[in-house]
Amino acid sequence: MCGIVGVLGNHEAAPILVEALKRLEYRGYDSAGIATVNKGTLARRRALGKLVNLSDLLVHDPLPGKSGIGHTRWATHGVPSVSNAHPHRAGSVAVVHNGIIENYRELRAELAGIGLEFQTETDTETVALLTQHYLEQGLSPVAAANQTLDRLQGAFALAFLFDGEEDLMIAARRGSPLAIGHGDGEMFVGSDAIALAPLTDRITYLEEGDRVVLSRTSFEIRDAQGALANRAMKTIQIDVTQVDKAGHKHFMAKEIAEQPTVIAEAIRHYLPVGEDAVHLPGAGIDFSQIDRLTMVACGTAYYACLTAKYWFEQIARIPVEVDVASEFRYREPPIPGKTAALFVSQSGETADTLAALRYCEGKADKILSVANVAESSIARESDLALPIHAGVEIGVASTKAFTCQLSVLLMLALKAATDRSEITAEDLQAHISALRGLPNVLAAALEQNDNIRQTAQKLSEARDVLFLGRGLMFPLALEGALKLKEISYIHAEAYASGELKHGPIALIDKQMPVVVFAPKDRLFDKSVSNMQEVMARKGKVVLISDAPGLKEGGEGTWETIDAAGAR
């Protein structure tokens, strides 16, 4: 995911931009660049790879100026290269962009038709060229940017900077979030408030379709219809230490370690001390009035939904449908009466999930969200927003947000079971005390770090890894495979253990580690049978279980991990 920053400031912009881009590093990137206007002249510097390469370049080839835009690029159109890196420039305009211009091919053809040449393979360059084309026709920068924005299809956030204009920046949001930061006689733009955290705590979030014209002392927002729009300025509290690795090697390690604390926080908000029932914020929801639940999300958040489906169905006896947001939104499914639609997202800004939520507006009886970023579009646009209290998640690979999502979803399922009179007081109390004990269980699991590291080292030599699970463990197996792919680039697939014999078993040989999630529960014996099938083909089983499970099923396995105790 690309990152955007912009500054109309009173100090040199380049170091401010680079520092702000560092705070967006968590989104992942392959190149970076900045542009400034100095004494009326627009110039840019771009570098491939880490931000340190851009910083080094700026040491040798400084870029003065107090107005600037910056970008970290994650290649979508065109390979990672200096020429494909942002800002993109055409004549008097420089542009940074997050998202995708879906009609860039038509625009490219049109621009080529009038003799314009492309220097890059990106969709973004069409934005710069089109704007320059309108400038050459005599339009002002604001009119040229507006005319360009009217022509664009897709989901994007954009910031424009112009030659000769040191007190002007134009920004727009459609599908990708963008925030304005208000300083004293300074103005900032950022993909999120984290980028702007040390610069200002006064933030205005642009809404869908908004365009803003900024100077150092003023800003004017117009909505998608072109009408002047009043968007609230919020004083936000982002603890800048949250954007610090706190002694950990990387953010993901920090966030894994934070789980006992943040889960305790999430549980405290829904199960206040001394209470024996789940409390939802605001007006809540009465699940006795709901016949059906539709859950929609992407990636890890989707796997959290798949897990929660078991809880809503088994504990609350409510029928649940779970869908990937990018499929749901284009499938346009019918939403029968008495349906609650629930959207799960860490960022609260994922375009497909947001589009799916908007599809359900006016169709579902109630729109709920489980999001981490409380000010996000998904949280703001739902009838009932259920925050997960995970704190800022910087690591691209979702970790603590996933476990906090699961905790909140389980509490919501308990609330549903209570509303629908599907749970006895004893069973509810058993779940509540298990939830309250969760931080300690997680802390014990984290003490397994050294053991887990040894297993990970062995797995790191594999080319392909299979993950298996039954029941609740199946979505966890899916999430495990996603994490392994994302973090190690090792090919990994997950299957419901019962599916092993229906095809994937053909892949098993002595090269193939098979990670099996199997606690000692009612499905354990079936999982043991699956492990036997794997071992009979010389597959290497890594069994992740609890102490009784390891005792009973650990024999003959390659590696074992006790998820809540000793190895």
Chain residues in the site for ligand M6R (CB under 6 A): 298-301, 345-347, 350, 353, 396-398, 486
Nearer to ligand M6R, 42 or 179 (CB): 179
What is the nearest approach in angstroms of ligand M6R to the Cβ of residue 399? 8
At residue 146's C-alpha, the angle toward residues 144 and 149, to 5°, is 110
Closest residue by Cα to residue 394 from 533, 239, 524: 239
Nearer to ligand M6R, 12 or 486 (CB): 486
| Structural tokens at position 67 | 């107005």
Nearer to ligand M6R, 301 or 416 (CB): 301
What is the nearest approach in angstroms of ligand M6R to the Cβ of residue 134? 35
What is the nearest approach in angstroms of ligand M6R to the Cβ of residue 347? 3
Three-class DSSP labels, 501-532 = HHCHHHHCCCCCEEEEECCCCCCHHHHHHHHH
What is the nearest approach in angstroms of ligand M6R to the Cβ of residue 362? 22
Nearer to ligand M6R, 346 or 382 (CB): 346
What is the nearest approach in angstroms of ligand M6R to the Cβ of residue 298? 4
Contact by Cβ (8 Å): 120, 91: no
φ, ψ for residue 266, nearest 5 deg: -60, -45
Nearer to ligand M6R, 53 or 326 (CB): 326
Closest residue by Cα to residue 219 from 185, 177, 176, 173: 185
| Structural tokens at position 89 | 């420039």
What is the nearest approach in angstroms of ligand M6R to the Cβ of residue 455? 20
| Rg of the chain in Å (alpha carbons) | 26
Nearer to ligand M6R, 300 or 418 (CB): 300
Nearer to ligand M6R, 271 or 305 (CB): 305
Beta strands in 39-191 (DSSP E): 41-48, 67-73, 88-90, 93-101, 154-162, 169-174, 179-182, 187-190
What is the nearest approach in angstroms of ligand M6R to the Cβ of residue 216? 33
| Structural tokens at position 222 | 């117009």
What is the nearest approach in angstroms of ligand M6R to the Cβ of residue 403? 12
State the sign of the Cα–Cα–Cα–Cα dihedral 90, 94, 96, 99: negative
Q: How far apart are CA 411 and CA 423, in angstroms?
A: 13
Closest residue by Cα to residue 311 from 213, 391, 418: 418
What is the nearest approach in angstroms of ligand M6R to the Cβ of residue 76? 14
| Structural tokens at position 225 | 């219809």
| Structural tokens at position 51 | 């931000």
Q: How far apart are CA 297 and CA 300, in angstroms?
A: 8
At residue 125's C-alpha, the angle toward residues 124 and 128, to 5°, is 100
Type of residue numbered 460: S
Nearer to ligand M6R, 135 or 515 (CB): 515
Query: Which residue is closest to ligand M6R by CB?
Result: 299
